[in-house]
Amino acid sequence: MQFSGRRKKLIGNFQNDLYDQCLQFYGQPPLENISLTEFETFAVERLKLLKTVENVGVSCVKNSEQYTKKLDAEISSLNFPHRGGISEYEKRRKDHISHFILRLAYCQTEDLRRWFIQQEMDLFRYRFNCLHSKHKTDFLHKNNLKYETVSAEEKKNLKDKLIASSYGLSGTKVEEHDVYKVPFQDALDLVRTRKVYLLAGNAYIPHHEIVTIVLNDFRTRLSKALAMTARSLPAVQSDERLQPLLSHLSHAYVGQDYSIQKNIGKISLEQIDALSGKSFPLCMRHLHKALRENHHLRHGGRMQYGLFLKGIGLTLEQALQFWRSEFVKGKVDADKFDKAYAYSVRHMFGKEGKRTDYTPYSCMKVILSNPPSQGDYHGCPFRHSDPELLKQKLQNYKVSPSGINQVCPTTSTHLTRFSTVCVKGFLKLNLVEDAGFSLNHPNQYFTESQKFLSGGRDIKKEVDMSQRSQENPASVTHPSQANSKQAHEEMGDLDSFFQDE
């Protein structure tokens, strides 16, 4: 395996041509060689950016000042091209390459594709709107969007008709700004509502509306490209250097991973029952209840719930006491517990074996990995439960009937929406309008809920970048890799170790 420490130097002129535009359609894949390091770094950073795009899109009104500020900040901090500044070559290169890497990771299923396209579109829209008018036109021309601008003379002839058909168009605007001639098939939304002037099969689009057209084009191209990428994916996946990273990228959670326990020892075991009713997300509440009722949980449930408890602040001693006291009420005596189960609890806390301090599962991981089967209680109820049972459960937890209807997902709910639905559950339970956060992690739910209940609601801080640094001296993996990759790898060992049930 050859790792190149440096990338190939490119000839000056070529540099200028390749990335002379701030924004691009990602029509041509990158052709250079890059190091594995860059491959990983670029991918993870773009993923962070897209996650921010998603979060910001959910929590702020698009294009509002707040939205703009947050996105701007993230783009700068992650070193992506920003507002067409000079000498942005490196950033543009990163933009280009990282997009294509993520295509590999996100082309495989309908859900992943949809998510990727949505975030890339939002990002594109934002960046396009930031361009100067002249750059916008340049962009259209360079990208073969055969949208000619209407000549001044034609504009004059059609002026009244244009004003009568397009929203927000005045006489001066027609004269000063460009009007684009677009085939009507590319402007269907405007045609359908008759909000545009049509002549000989062309829609006459004023400058300020051209972004919608461009976005449609972007979406179509990206959709087709992803379909094609999916077909060629087996060849790429067979490369063992890439396969692990790609599969983890699509499952990756890049927010806080709750491996740094902030509240160690602040929770007492007596509080857990009460907390489960108030601040646990539905999946953990479910697991807790099952544990109390059956005095047992299977491996998947122990991992998901046990790590969550660690994340909320339980110490190892507390965890051992917690699990033992419950298991002993069931079929397991104290001896057996110490022999068989205690080891796994200590393992969770990094006190056995490789001594990796495992990170609590993110929502993505809970939803996508290890679906529950008969006798299991883990997983995401919004994803894995039978809808009727889910409704009943919510009723038992005293969610109002209208609340239940809003919260229960339908068959058309897709992957990333389950956590949104979970948050809605939080809203209904606590009778709040706006959660102020978008959910990615069960422990995040707990933290936010506790914050809310204690009356201190401050605006959610930016994703803590420090989680990138490894707290754990025992780990040997690459610092820039997503933590979940490491966790997943180790998890594989743990799984095979415990063969019970």
Partner 1 sequence: MPTSDYDPACLPDLLPLYYRRLFPFSQYYRWLSYGGVSKNYFQNREFSFTLKDDIYVRYQSFTTQNELEKEMQKMVPYKVDIGAVYSHRPSQHNAVKSGTFQALEKELVFDIDMTDYDDVRRCCSAADICSKCWTLMIIAIRILDRALREDFGFHHLLWVYSGRRGVHCWVCDDAARKLSVAARSAVAEYLSLVKGGEETLRKVVLSDPIHPFINHSLSVVERYFQQYAIVEQDILCSKESVDKVLALLTTHIKKDLTIYYQDEKNPMKRWDRLCTNKAFHQGRLSSIKKGGQYFDKEIMLQYCYPRLDVNVSKGVNHLLKSPFSVHPKTGRISVPIDLKELNTFDPFEVPTISLICEELERPRADEAEEDDVKDKENEQEAGERRRIRDYKRTSLAKYVKVFDRFLEAMARSWKGEMLKKSGELETSFSVFLTFMSFTYT
What residues between 332 and 391 interact with partner 1 by CB under 8 A?
A: none
- Contact between 233 and partner 1 by CB under 8 A: the answer reads no
Whole-angstrom distance, CA of residue 418 vs CA of residue 440: 10
Q: How far apart are CA 77 and CA 71, in angstroms?
A: 10
Q: Please state the closest distance from residue 144 (CB atom) to partner 1, in A.
A: 11
What is the Cα–Cα distance from 163 to 176, expressed in whole angstroms?
A: 13
Residue 408 counted as an annotated binding residue: no
Nearer to partner 1, 8 or 461 (CB): 8
> Do 358 and 348 contact (CB within 8 A), yes or no?
yes
Hunting for tokens 């900040």 — which residue is that? Answer: 73
Stretch that binds partner 1, among 51-59, 188-196, 255-263, 410-418 (CB under 8 A): 188-196
Q: With the CA atoms of 308, 309, 310 and 312 taken in that order, what torsion angle do they form, in degrees rounded to the nearest 10?
A: 90
60 is in an annotated binding site: no
Whole-number Å distance between alpha carbons of 349 and 316: 7
Candidates 161, 292, 336, 398: give the one binding partner 1 (CB under 8 A).
161
Q: How far is the CB of 161 from partner 1 (least distance, A)?
A: 5
Distance CA 221, CA 215 (A): 10
List the structure tokens of 227.
Answer: 């379909």
Q: How far is the CB of 3 from partner 1 (least distance, A)?
A: 7
Tell whether residue 107 is among the known ligand binding residues.
no
**Residue 100 interacting with partner 1 (CB under 8 A):** yes
How far apart CA 123 and CA 126 sit, in angstroms, is: 5
Nearest residue (CB) to partner 1, 103 versus 136: 103
Question: Which residues ranging from 194 to 223 are in contact with partner 1 (CB under 8 A)?
Answer: 194, 197-202
Q: Is 277 helix (H, G, I), strand (E, B) or coil?
A: helix
Starting at the earlier edge strand, list the strands of the sheet with 202-206.
148-149, 179-183, 202-206, 197-199
Segment lying near partner 1 (by CB under 8 A), choices 133-141, 228-236, 292-300, 441-449: 228-236
Encoded tokens for 220: 């179509």
Does the protein bind partner 1 through residue 235 (CB under 8 A)?
Answer: yes
Query: Is residue 397 a contact residue for partner 1 (CB under 8 A)?
Result: no
CB of 49 closer than 8 Å to CB of 78:
yes
Q: Is position 172 an interface residue for partner 1 (rule: CB under 8 A)?
A: no
Closest C-alpha to 224, from 63, 140, 107, 340: 107
Q: By CB under 8 A, what part of segment 1-40 binds partner 1?
A: 2-4, 27-31, 33-36, 39
Q: Quote the least distance from Cβ 456 to partner 1, whole Å.
A: 48
Least distance (Å) from partner 1 to the CB of residue 21? Answer: 18
Q: Pairing relation of β-strands 179-183 and 148-149? A: antiparallel
Binding-site annotation, residues:
283, 363, 380, 422
Binding-site annotation, residues for [4Fe-4S] cluster:
283, 363, 380, 422
Applying CB under 8 A, the residues found at the interface with partner 1 are: 2-4, 27-31, 33-36, 39, 100, 161, 163-165, 184-185, 188-189, 191-194, 197-202, 225, 228-229, 232, 235
